[in-house]
Amino acid sequence: MASTATATKLSSGHEMPAVGLGVWRMDSAAVRGLIHSALRAGYRHFDCAADYKNEAEVGDALAEAFQTGLVKREDLFITTKLWNSDHGHVVEACKDSLKKLRLDYLDLYLIHFPVATKHTGVGTTGSALGDDGVLDIDTTITLETTWHAMEDLVSMGLVRSIGISNYDIFLTRDCLAYAKIKPAVNQIETHPYFQRDSLVKFCQKHGISVTAHTPLGGSTANTEWFGSVSCLDDPVIKVSITNRDNVSLAEKYGKTPAQLVLRWGLQRNTVVIPPRPPR
């Protein structure tokens, strides 16, 4: 296979490790052990979010790692995200995440989703419903307003790079049109079963790095929620076939299905953040 970069240079001038650990669905009680194990295994990039509701546990794990000399803060790349209900309170939400993570600055702060919902209190990450049972969307806050507030975080020294998440081509194009600071990253779902070539190529053409937030196909969550088959179980990738002329890719390269799928993502020049260190 072709060689892949170990880090990607962002438009902000900073470098982001090409492989990170996503803490989504990570049980709070397991955070410390998983993060310390990841650090010892060489991980230096951690992807968090206010909505994951474990920023405080991540912060405790990182603080212990710094105190014991396991790693230095300047060696890490820490991402977290603005939740939908805090679009009108960007600075306060960022400071709340920094406090929970026990950090002085973030390497990357993302708008988690391109929608503003009713504010439920900074850091509460609520998804309030209206009287009709439908998500209560705040139509008074534009994505442009939110983005300019994100830009303020950079000038305040709270954040080194800012970006977007779950934006399609049209919303990404609009952001480029009104941005004073171009989004450094667009974090999206992309994997062999959902390749999104047009969006990936558009972002990369315009200097926006792409992070795959479900590089393994979201196997656990998607199976649980939608009953879909994981790409890790695809016979082309996984199953050992006896016919020597028709072997699986995993068998051909002597790798696990997870390693194969992650390498596919890296060779597209996307950053991959699997939910925990692949075995």
Catalytic residue ranges: 52
SS3 33: helix
Which is it for strands 7-9 and 15-17: parallel, antiparallel or unpaired? antiparallel
DSSP state of 194: B
Q: Which residues contact 33 (CB under 8 A, 6 or more apart)?
A: none
Asked if residue 164 lies in contact with residue 175, where contact means CB atoms within 8 angstroms, the answer is: yes
Instruction: Report the distance separating Cα 194 and Cα 259, nearest Å.
Output: 18
Tokens of 209: 């790095």
Q: ∠122-187-220 over CA atoms, to 5°?
A: 90
- 45 belongs to an annotated ligand binding site: no
Cα-based distances in Å from 266 to 167, 177, 196: 20, 28, 15
Residues 6+ apart with CB under 8 A from 157: 105
Residue 273's nearest CA partner among 37, 35, 47 is: 47
d(CA 171, CA 107): 23
Phi-psi region of 123 (alpha: psi -120 to 50; beta: other; left: phi over 0): left
Residues at the binding site are 112
Residues at the binding site for substrate are 112
